[in-house]
Structure 1
Amino acid sequence: MILQHHYKDFLSDFKIWNQKPHTKEWLIFSENIGKRLSIDETSLSNGELYTILTNKAAKGKKGALVAMVARTKAERVIAIIEKISLKQQNLVTEMTLDMAGNMGLIAKKCFPNAARVIYRFNVQKLATEALREIRIKYRWQAIDQENEAIEKAKKKTRKGSSLKF
């Protein structure tokens, strides 16, 4: 604990860090921007949502974080990301995002030259749900046909048993 305190207060540049005043609300590392970015929301603690913009080329390692904004409201996130120079925003050619409307709006407004790519997991989930609905529909149709056939067979059996010999 003493070593952490010593590092933070004396060895690091934390006291003179230019993002210190707003660090709880947002962080921007525009030097990490690249051609391919991802944007998503996450909850780090206590249910607080953050919007995170990352450079895919860094593969989650050093230099991956481009921006982190407390909360997910599109207008707020756009205002923060627009602090990145327009020249750098225009370098982005691909944005990977989920299907949330706010993420699509952020990508469209902040990175107009970027193609928007939906996470494959979201596409797989939609396809799986659609397939499940179709299976359920056909299953009920098959059950209805079977019930009709059983009912016809019962009627036929009743008519046959009422004949007198």
Structure 2
Amino acid sequence: MDSYPITARSLERFCHIDGDQLERQYKEHLSDFKTWEPLAHAHEWLLFPQNIGPRLSIDETSMSNGDLYTIITNKEGKGREGSLFAIVYGTKSEDIIKVLEQIPEEILSQVKEVTLDMAETMRKIVRRCFPKAMRVIDRFHVQKLACDALQEIRISHRWEAIQQETDDKEEAKGTGKRYLPIVFENGDTPKQLLARSRYLLFESANKWTKSQKIRAKILFKQYPDIKKAYSLMHSLRMIFNKNTMKDAARVSLALWYNKVEEAGFNSFNTIAATIYEHYEEILNFFVNRSTNAAAESFNAKIKAFRASLRGVVDIKFFLYRLAKIYA
């Protein structure tokens, strides 16, 4: 069962108490927050060496006021007690490396695999602090790049449709004629078609509803480049879904590069170059099929806790509570 922080306010309704007063009492008297050993540096860094494991995830998240913290979690903790290995203020690699190097090298060398995103700072941290760990770039960050490129093409067409509609209205007004927009068989205008297609382009065709299938058919007929870009995105997704061997995935990615080159989309060429730069780390996914989902889930728990508190007033106390629950 997952662990979720409980706020004092959430107890008001059931226990008929003043939540704010209980929060203050817990902070000042009921907890050991005031004598907590890491209190002096908690807002800068927290380390829990006992929670190190062979498989870690590293990611960043916002705690309060947009301030980012780098968080390293142990996958074996499964988002519960023992999951939290380190929290360090900021995303600057040198600062995080300095904190992690407080742990003896023989302990850091126990780590065999770290999942991360494509940020160069994360790569540097893992390379320096976990020298024996295989770096695995999260597949969903790779797929998101392709999704963003596809949506960029859709949005470009939508702005063109908006401009065309505005021009047609002005022309009709100038000639004294009634403006009649183009309406497709499903009732969408071009502008509406492009706006309402956003979500279906994220999904595989076998997950489309009946109305989405009709909309997609019209969309792809009117905008063949969107159809081609959708095919490229879907092909990349299928490489991750179907390939089980690293060598087979390597061949599939090479063939995908050829398709991207033939398509001639600048945005997809940029993605192909980015993938090439991180080639081996992306292919490492096919060794154990590891993703950064554990880190994303942990970040979601932090955000939910922060939302239940209606923001973070005392960052040290907030981190204290996270440490008590997850470390």
**RMSD, aligned α-carbons:** 2.1
Structure-1 separation of matches of 2:24 and 2:106? 39
Structure-2 separation of matches of 1:135 and 1:39? 36
Q: Which of these residues, 253, 259, 264, is aligned with residue 137 of structure 1?
A: 264
Structure-1 separation of matches of 2:44 and 2:72? 14
Q: Which residue does 1:2 correspond to in 2?
A: 21
Q: Which runs of 4+ in 1 moved over 6 A?
A: none
Q: Which residue does 1:149 correspond to in 2?
A: none
Cα–Cα, structure 1 residues 11 and 85, in superposed 2: closer, same or farther, change >3 Å? Answer: farther
> Greater share of strand residues, 1 or 2?
1
Deviations 1:27-72 (A, max 9, x none): 1111111110000111222211110100011111121111111100
Question: Number of paired residues?
Answer: 138
Q: Which of these residues, 82, 93, 99, is aligned with residue 74 of structure 1?
A: 93
Q: Which residue does 1:112 correspond to in 2?
A: 131
Q: 2:212 aligned with 1:85, yes or no? A: no
Q: Which residue does 2:47 correspond to in 1?
A: 28
| Rg (Cα) greater in structure | 1
Structure-2 separation of matches of 1:80 and 1:34? 18
Secondary structure class of the residue paired with 1:19: helix
Secondary structure class of the residue paired with 2:24: helix
Structure-2 separation of matches of 1:63 and 1:76? 24
The one-letter code sitting in structure 2 at the alignment partner of 1:123 is: V
| More displaced stretch, 3-12 vs 17-26 | 3-12
Q: 2:17 aligned with 1:17, yes or no? A: no
The one-letter code sitting in structure 2 at the alignment partner of 1:88 is: I
Structure-2 separation of matches of 1:57 and 1:31? 13
Q: Which residue does 1:51 correspond to in 2?
A: 70
Q: Which residue does 1:60 correspond to in 2?
A: 79
Structure-2 separation of matches of 1:81 and 1:127? 34
> Greater share of helix residues, 1 or 2?
2
The one-letter code sitting in structure 1 at the alignment partner of 2:141 is: N
TM-score, with structure 1 as normaliser: 0.75
Deviation at 1:16, TM superposition (A): 1.8
Cα–Cα, structure 1 residues 15 and 124, in superposed 2: closer, same or farther, change >3 Å? Answer: same
Identity in percent: 52
* Larger RCO (alpha carbons 8 Å, 6+ apart): 2
Secondary structure class of the residue paired with 2:128: helix
Stretches of structure 2 lacking an aligned partner (at least 5 in a row) = 1-19, 150-228, 234-259, 266-327
Q: Which residue does 2:251 correspond to in 1?
A: none
Stretches of structure 1 lacking an aligned partner (at least 5 in a row) = 139-165
The one-letter code sitting in structure 2 at the alignment partner of 1:59 is: K
Q: 2:124 aligned with 1:124, yes or no? A: no
TM-score, with structure 2 as normaliser: 0.39
Q: Which residue does 2:122 correspond to in 1?
A: 103
Q: Which residue does 2:287 correspond to in 1?
A: none
